[in-house]
Amino acid sequence: MTIFSRRFFVVCVALSLSACGGSNSESESPAEPATSVSSSAADIDTSTDPDIIDSQDPVETVLISDQWQLVWQDEFDDKNIDLAKWTFEVNCFGGGNNEQQCYTDRTENAFIEQGILKLVALKENFTGPSAQDDDPTYNTNNTRTLPYTSARLRSKNKGDWTFGRFEIRAKLPQGQGTWPAIWMLPTEWAYGGWAGSGEIDIMEAVNLKAKSDESGSSAGQEESRIHGTLHYGRAWPENVYSGKEFHLPAGLNPADDFHEYAVEWQEGEIRWYVDDIHFATQRDTGWYSQYMNSDGVLINGEGTAPFDQDFHLLLNFAVGGAWAANVNEKGIDESVFPQSLDIDYVRVYECSVSPKTGAGCEAINQDVPLSKGLQAPTL
Secondary structure of residue 18 in the 3-state scheme: coil
Residue 216 sits at φ, ψ, to 5 deg, of 85, 5
Number of domains in the chain: 1
- How many whole angstroms separate alpha carbon 183 and alpha carbon 311? 10
Q: What is the pTM of this model?
A: 0.87
Q: Which of 204, 223, 245, 362 is catalytic?
A: 204
In a domain, 3, yes or no: no
- What pLDDT sits at residue 124? 98
pLDDT score for 190:
97
Number of CB atoms found within 10 A of residue 228's CB: 29
Q: Is residue 356 part of a domain?
A: no
CA angle 252/258/259 to nearest 5° reads: 70
At 324, is the secondary structure helix, strand, or coil?
helix
pLDDT of residue 49: 43
Q: Give the pLDDT of residue 56.
A: 79
Query: Count of H helices and E strands in the chain?
Result: 1, 23
* β 143-150/101-103 pair status: parallel
- What is the rounded average pLDDT for all residues in the chain? 88
Provide the β-strand partners of residue 160: 312
- Judge contact between 62 and 11, C-beta under 8 A: no
Split the chain (379 residues) into runs of 10 and give each run's mean pLDDT.
Answer: 38 32 36 35 38 66 97 97 98 96 98 98 98 96 98 98 98 98 98 97 98 93 98 97 97 98 98 98 98 96 98 98 98 98 98 98 96 95
For residue 8, tell me if it sits in a domain.
no
Write the burial class of residue 330 (CB in 10 Å: 0-12 exposed, 13-18 middle, 19+ buried).
middle
In this structure, how many other beta carbons lie within 10 angstroms of the beta carbon of residue 115?
Answer: 13
Is residue 67 one of the residues assigned to a domain? yes
Alpha-carbon torsion 143, 188, 73, 268, what sign?
positive
Bridge-based pairing state of the strands 311-319 and 178-186: antiparallel
Decide if 199 is catalytic.
yes
Domain for residue 322, yes or no? yes
Structural domain includes residue 92 = yes
Which of these, 9, 29, 257, 44, lies nearest to 132 by C-alpha position?
A: 44
Active-site residue (options: 26, 167, 199, 264) = 199
Task: Establish if 121 belongs to a structural domain.
Answer: yes
Q: What is the pLDDT of residue 8?
A: 33
Question: What's the pLDDT score for residue 12?
Answer: 33
8 A C-beta contact, residue 202 and residue 263: yes
Cβ-contact 37, 335 below 8 angstroms: no
Domain extent at residue 316: 26-351
The reply to whether 377 falls in a domain is no
Q: What is the structure's pLDDT at 20?
A: 33
What CATH number should be reported for the domain holding residue 70?
Answer: 2.60.120.200
pLDDT in tens, 273-305: 999 999 999 999 999 999 999 999 999 999 999
